[in-house]
Structure 1
Amino acid sequence: MFDVHSKESHGYSLEVLADILSQSKSTIESRVRKGELSLIKGSNLIPHSQVAHHPEIASIVASKWDQELGIKPARTYNLVELFAGGGGLALGMEQAGLNSIFLNEMDRHACATLRHNRPEWNVVEGDIAKINFSEIREEVDVLTGGFPCQAFSYAGKGLGFEDTRGTLFYEMAKAINELKPKVFLAENVRALLTHEGGKTLNTIRKVIDELGYDLVEPKVVKAIFYKVPQKRERLILVGIRKDLSQDVTFHWPSPYKKIMTLKDAFLKGELFNSDVPLSEGQQYPQHKREIMEQVPEGGYWRDLPDDLQREYMKGSYHLGGGKTGMARRLSMSEPSLTLTTSPAQKQTERCHPRETRPLQVREYARIQTFPDNWEFQGPLSAAYRQIGNAVPVNMAAALGRSLVRLLNDIENIKIAQS
């Protein structure tokens, strides 16, 4: 963890600085070799003074996180969530003070998780295409969800709302059209920005406009800035109903004042009040374990002896590219790489920093900032899948507070006009 407000922490490690600035570690190392940056004597830390001019660093120093924690709903705001998964987004929205009245999810194990942890939530299991949203009688203030990124069929189409039929975006748009929430938030993979050369996002923009919403300029949100020990990025889309949007502004959440690392996830401290509990987890086959034993903390396949590199990588050994996820052991002093739906996939290995095994379920959950009492239902593979697909809870809560702030502003205007 690096705290810019602490006198003892007066520098950034090369790895953490690279994450903050969205540069590779090799780029930072190159800047050090060229003399653009220098290390604090006897350490591998870049002094704060050398990088304070970067906007990302300045925003951490000027963080308003603590003030934003004080944002509370002016009244009860009702939330409908689609594609709810294992509950990361819904839990964050709950922490922000929003009231979930309807959650839809198709995966039965994820639905079991939601019901187990929040028996009072109205969890509707099944295909979103078969749900009649007109049955929701309450006023809906917010609609949230993460629709999968899918290609549209572009041949000879104007690509309005009806032309996106057959996609899960269409189903989310249909729900927005029926429920008319004041605001919606959709999250997606960063790749949506450039999907089909940008045509997919342009179609989504057109449909949102057609539905009667103004789209806030989409933003790629990096989890490490929101008290999450993970290098996860998500594209966030926020739409405000046009009859309200002219009078209010959506404010993106401020970054947290520290960058959290795996040490913060696994050991008692600021993120959690105890060390990570033991839990079930995948195991390596004996031979793979013997190979992974030789990867140092923070290392990957290129840190193996050449004969093991060739054996492990097979044909990929001769191909270009770093393939830095292969035979990857995480580091306690860095945020985790983005979690996937399994910690022991060859392309996206997530080995424990100091023990030679894949990350366990509770370790996975902590990296996504789920509380330890949030219990995942279903077999081991289902638990990993629910966690790996989730929106990090702390990031969701920060976005939720921004939504509450917006709704409060709308409420204040209504009161002033009445």
Structure 2
Amino acid sequence: MAAHFLGFKSIGIEWDRNACETRYAAGLPTIHADVSVMREKRFHEIPKTVDVLAGGPPCQSFSVAGNGAGRRALDNVEKFIHRLVDGEDEAQIDKELHALGDSRTALVLEPLRWLLKAIETEDREPYKVIVLEQVPAVLPLWEVYAKLLRGGEGRLRGVKYEADCWELKTEQFGVPQTRTRAVLVARRPGEGAIEPLETTHRPFDLHRSKRNAVQADTLLTDSEIPETKQRWVSMAEALDAASKPDGSPVDVSRLRTGGGMTFFVVSNYGSGGDPKNRGRRLSSEPAFTVTGKISRNKVYKDIAAYGADRYDRFTIPEAGVLQTFPHNFPWSGNDQAQQVGNAVPPRLGMHVLSRALRGDTPSDEELAAAGTWPSVPRTTTEELRHLGCGDQSQCPPESHKVTRSPRKPAP
């Protein structure tokens, strides 16, 4: 999405069939495959002109919202990273990774394996740019990545990168949602040092009672002077803007009270270690982190409705808007809420890729254009589906199996 809005062509490798359907509908070239299988057996199918590697390995096993297997395994995974670069037997590494208990944890090594594959393939060039994204818990691993990429030792064969990583807060880039992500950017030498991203908006203080004091503290630093940064974007602002284009599927009339939107959202997750302590956000504030369970958040128009338990839900287009997807993005397939929650907010992606690929920030015109998705002919979608799933035997096992309930006997 971000590459498209910045004018760069891309090709995706996606394991989930439903996400593939959305990408086909959006006109985004996609190979429906397991990234590991693609690297091991089908690497030759990736065009040699592809010189940027961007990825977001599954975060569930590292996420605070998950069971934490990945967090507990961080030290072990760091050792595996070094062992891969040192040239140890990959079969043994895979066996030990499997023993960690969550196969998704091992996927954080895939970007490194793709780079090594490119370096060790005779008719390939190393990727010029590498961009990786994950939950904050993975930042220590990105720091290990960055150090190794700067050194170019072992199987890297002297291939070195300028590399840096940061913890970024989405609301500071105009995303109407609080979401923190760890991002790594690496670039071959010759393009200058990688400068940190420039935030465009002020941070949102999660602790309302302390907000005034925190905002006062920001006056002490030049980089956080309110006059030089825009205020974060609220849910009401984002949804209202998305509802205005003709034919928009975002209809917020049900959320209006009088002349404006004054709803509040009750989170699906507990806070402070208490599953019953559901957080609340006002419509005048950014959304909670949009997860695959966004549809379970309860939306109330007023306190009276809360007491009577009369609530609404965010629709898929609305959830997408809170992630900064265009109002008319063609969500397709099943598990659409999960697709929305799994995604990198496109607006954040534009800032990251613009810094990585061009050394600048996206223009106001580019950011404004990202509010609408171009219409894609059905023939284009069908062609992309044929290219991505034409040989279903190469797609992930069982991914095209359709389970139907047994027919009931006729009365």
- Output the TM-score relative to the length of structure 1: 0.56
Per the alignment, residue 304 of structure 1 pairs with none
Per the alignment, residue 192 of structure 1 pairs with 138
Per the alignment, residue 228 of structure 1 pairs with 175
Cα drift, residue 97 of structure 1: 1.8
Whether the 8 Å CA contact 1:352–1:359 is kept in 2: the answer is no
Per the alignment, residue 96 of structure 1 pairs with 6
Q: Does 1:254 align with 2:198?
A: yes
Per the alignment, residue 380 of structure 2 pairs with none
Cα drift, residue 275 of structure 1: 9.8
Q: Which deviates more from structure 2 when the two are superposed, residues 211-220 or residues 321-330? A: 321-330
Per the alignment, residue 204 of structure 1 pairs with 145
Whether the 8 Å CA contact 1:186–1:238 is kept in 2: the answer is yes
Per the alignment, residue 354 of structure 2 pairs with 401
Per the alignment, residue 67 of structure 1 pairs with none
Post-superposition CA distance 1:186-235 (Å, at most 9, x none): 00101113xxxx4x455434553443343533101111111210101110
1:299–1:156 CA distance, 2 compared to 1 (3 A):
closer
Per the alignment, residue 147 of structure 1 pairs with 57
Q: Which amino acid aligns with 2:145?
A: I
Whether the 8 Å CA contact 1:110–1:377 is kept in 2: the answer is yes
Post-superposition CA distance 1:59-107 (Å, at most 9, x none): xxxxxxxxxxxxxxxxxxxxxxxxxxxxxxxx0121112111x210100
Partner SS for 1:404? helix
Per the alignment, residue 79 of structure 1 pairs with none
Aligned equivalents of 2:20, 2:26: Cα separation in 1: 10
Aligned sequence identity (%) = 24
Per the alignment, residue 364 of structure 2 pairs with none
Cα drift, residue 300 of structure 1: 5.6
Per the alignment, residue 172 of structure 1 pairs with 111
Aligned pair count reads 270
Counterpart of 2:324 (choices 369, 375, 382) is 369
Per the alignment, residue 264 of structure 1 pairs with 237
Partner SS for 2:161? strand
Q: Which amino acid aligns with 2:34?
A: D
Per the alignment, residue 378 of structure 1 pairs with 333
Partner SS for 1:159? helix
Per the alignment, residue 106 of structure 1 pairs with 15
Per the alignment, residue 116 of structure 1 pairs with 25
Partner SS for 2:185? strand
Per the alignment, residue 411 of structure 1 pairs with none
- Aligned Cα root-mean-square deviation (Å): 3.5
Counterpart of 1:336 (choices 287, 290, 302) is 287
Counterpart of 2:47 (choices 137, 140, 152) is 137
Whether the 8 Å CA contact 2:53–2:127 is kept in 1: the answer is yes
Cα drift, residue 331 of structure 1: 1.3
1:339–1:255 CA distance, 2 compared to 1 (3 A):
same
Cα drift, residue 115 of structure 1: 0.8
Counterpart of 1:277 (choices 239, 246, 249) is 249
Q: Which amino acid aligns with 2:249?
A: P
Cα drift, residue 325 of structure 1: 8.5
Q: Which amino acid aligns with 1:255?
A: T
Aligned equivalents of 2:78, 2:109: Cα separation in 1: 17
- Output the TM-score relative to the length of structure 2: 0.57
Q: Which amino acid aligns with 1:115?
A: Y
Partner SS for 1:172? helix
1:176–1:372 CA distance, 2 compared to 1 (3 A):
same
1:233–1:337 CA distance, 2 compared to 1 (3 A):
same
Cα drift, residue 402 of structure 1: 1.2
Aligned equivalents of 1:234, 1:276: Cα separation in 2: 30
Aligned equivalents of 2:347, 2:338: Cα separation in 1: 19
1:275–1:113 CA distance, 2 compared to 1 (3 A):
closer
Whether the 8 Å CA contact 1:106–1:127 is kept in 2: the answer is yes
Post-superposition CA distance 1:108-134 (Å, at most 9, x none): 00011101111xx43111111111323
Cα drift, residue 254 of structure 1: 2.4
Post-superposition CA distance 1:268-301 (Å, at most 9, x none): 37x964796358xxxxxxxxxxxxxxxx955769
1:127–1:366 CA distance, 2 compared to 1 (3 A):
same
Aligned equivalents of 2:135, 2:78: Cα separation in 1: 25
Partner SS for 2:133? strand
Summarize the alignment of residues 16-27 of structure 1 with structure 2, pairs less than 5 Å apart. Answer: none
Per the alignment, residue 351 of structure 1 pairs with 299
1:275–1:330 CA distance, 2 compared to 1 (3 A):
farther
Aligned equivalents of 2:83, 2:112: Cα separation in 1: 13
Aligned equivalents of 1:213, 1:155: Cα separation in 2: 19
Whether the 8 Å CA contact 1:300–1:329 is kept in 2: the answer is yes
Per the alignment, residue 129 of structure 2 pairs with 183
1:227–1:278 CA distance, 2 compared to 1 (3 A):
closer
Q: Which amino acid aligns with 2:328?
A: N
Aligned equivalents of 2:315, 2:52: Cα separation in 1: 34
Partner SS for 2:339? helix
